[in-house]
Structure 1
Amino acid sequence: MGCFGFLKTMMVAFNGIIFLAGAAILGVGIWVKVDSGSILGFLGKIEGAPEELSQILNVGYLLIAIGALLLVIGFLGCCGAVRESKCMLLLFFIIVLVVFIAEVAGAVVILVFRPLADELFAKVGTAAVQNIKKDYGKNADVTGLWDTTMSALKCCGFYNASDFVGSPYYNDKNKQYPPECCPGTNSSCNQTQADSATTITGCFPKIKQLVEDNTVVIVGVALGIAALEICAMAVSMILFCRIKSGSG
């Protein structure tokens, strides 16, 4: 197998993975939009939630768009290499270049508008705490969602156990906190037990800490994706030039 054949094989393999990833992301996006009981749909119904949250709730459409785009990129890359189509390879290069530029622009926007994101999270936190105080222990859907979230993330409330003070659950249980706020127990606990549970933090601080702890990994993955995109563009142009010159 010569250099040209090796590049074709790598192009097909790489874009085959992209195609499968696109199909998976597209499926998740469709599921998010169809599943009316998903957390995104629940967040959209939180009373007092900031208007900006509605943009985040469009993540289902975003996943569908990303999945469809990856399907197109994977298809063009695979078929362009197999059929040695200059048109497909050139279109593949243009789309990947546009995606790369959009990613760079998005990274810049995130860095510039980081304070606005913090402000949005603060508004979401206020709405979430109000939601707990109003409906936790009274609304089955709200209670079940928070219980599932806290069990999965090993956290308590949005910020901490005090979020439950004044909630229907807290009042009905004689000022007791949910079991998730009390490690090592399977039942509600009082203020003293919850205060001693130093290992249990709020769900928002827990998620924020997970992101901060894995910042290096996230940055590494982002740089790796950028490197792969650059390599894909380079390979597509090499194949394009070889096919155009007729030396393949």
Structure 2
Amino acid sequence: MSCFSFIKVIMILFNLAIFLGGAALLGVGIWVSVDGSSFMKIFGSVSSSVLQFVNVGYFIIAIGAVLLVLGFLGCCGAQKESKCLLMTFFSIVLIIFIAEIAGAVVALVYTSMAETLLAATVTPVLKENYGKSSDITQIWNTTMEELHCCGLMNYTDFTNSPYYSNNGETYPSYCCPKGMSRCNETLAGKVDVPVCMQHLSFKMVFGW
């Protein structure tokens, strides 16, 4: 097999994988849009909370459609050795690449603004609903457990929250060392637990 034939096969297989991935995402997006209730039953209350803020179905459909078209153009272009299809394929890839670079630059420039906006939006929600709303409590418990962090800005985000008031003015256990039965203000203030904003800011800038 010549080098050109090998590259051709690799490109066909690569774009076939993109095509199948796009088809799968498109199917999931249509499922969420048409029958969101069954989606929420399978994935639980977290999916319900996400669907309240983002129209996940249409978002997934858009991504799936782009990947589907991209995979089709690349696969057919490589198979037929069509310059037109391959130029279209590489043009779309270039546009996506430029959009990602532009998005990264914007994220770096506006990170501090986004942090301020996030703090102003999320902190009141925590103080009002953590310990009262099961969905919000579960989402934040999962976030703090997975990221090993406490609160958006610090442990004081939970001060005067329903959880704080109903549990003898204590904070979530994630804000104190493991094994502590009661996480009070003294212990939470002494322990240097990372705040969740650090992780969220990193994700906003780098996407992971």
Partner of 2:51: 41
Partner of 2:131: 137
The structure-2 alpha-carbon separation of the partners of 1:131 and 1:114, relative to structure 1 and needing over 3 Å to count, comes to: same
- Asked if the contact 1:178/1:187 (under 8 Å) is kept, the reply is no
- Asked if the contact 1:73/1:96 (under 8 Å) is kept, the reply is no
Distance 2:191 2:107 in 1: 36
Whether 1:203 and 2:200 are equivalent positions in the alignment is: no
Shift of 1:165: 0.7
Shift of 1:25: 4.7
Partner of 2:78: 81
Shift of 1:31: 7.4
Partner of 1:122: 116
Indicate the RMSD between aligned Cα atoms, in angstroms: 3.1
Normalised by the length of structure 1, the TM-score is 0.66
Q: Deviations over 1:169-220 (max 9, x none)?
A: 111222100111112126441111112221x2221113335777xx6x98xx
- Number of residue pairs aligned between Structure 1 and Structure 2: 198
Distance 1:104 1:5 in 2: 30
Which of 59, 69, 76 is equivalent to 1:72?
A: 69
Which of 175, 182, 188 is equivalent to 1:181?
A: 175
Distance 1:128 1:59 in 2: 21
Shift of 1:74: 1.5
Shift of 1:5: 2.4
- Asked if the contact 2:170/2:182 (under 8 Å) is kept, the reply is yes
Kindly provide the amino acid, as one letter, of the partner of residue 124 in structure 2.
Q
- Asked if the contact 1:182/1:193 (under 8 Å) is kept, the reply is yes
SS of equivalent residue, structure 1 residue 189? coil
Q: Percent identity?
A: 40
Segments of 5+ residues of structure 1 without an aligned counterpart are 45-56, 219-248
Which of 89, 94, 101 is equivalent to 2:88?
A: 94
Shift of 1:3: 4.2
- Asked if the contact 2:107/2:204 (under 8 Å) is kept, the reply is no
Segments of 5+ residues of structure 2 without an aligned counterpart are none
Shift of 1:129: 0.6
- Asked if the contact 1:159/1:201 (under 8 Å) is kept, the reply is no
Distance 2:202 2:111 in 1: 16
The structure-2 alpha-carbon separation of the partners of 1:102 and 1:41, relative to structure 1 and needing over 3 Å to count, comes to: same
Shift of 1:13: 2.0
Shift of 1:29: 5.2
The structure-2 alpha-carbon separation of the partners of 1:110 and 1:58, relative to structure 1 and needing over 3 Å to count, comes to: farther
Partner of 2:10: 10
Query: Which structure: larger Rg?
Result: 1
SS of equivalent residue, structure 2 residue 160? coil
Shift of 1:157: 0.9
Return the structure number with greater relative CO, CA threshold 8 A, min gap 6: 1
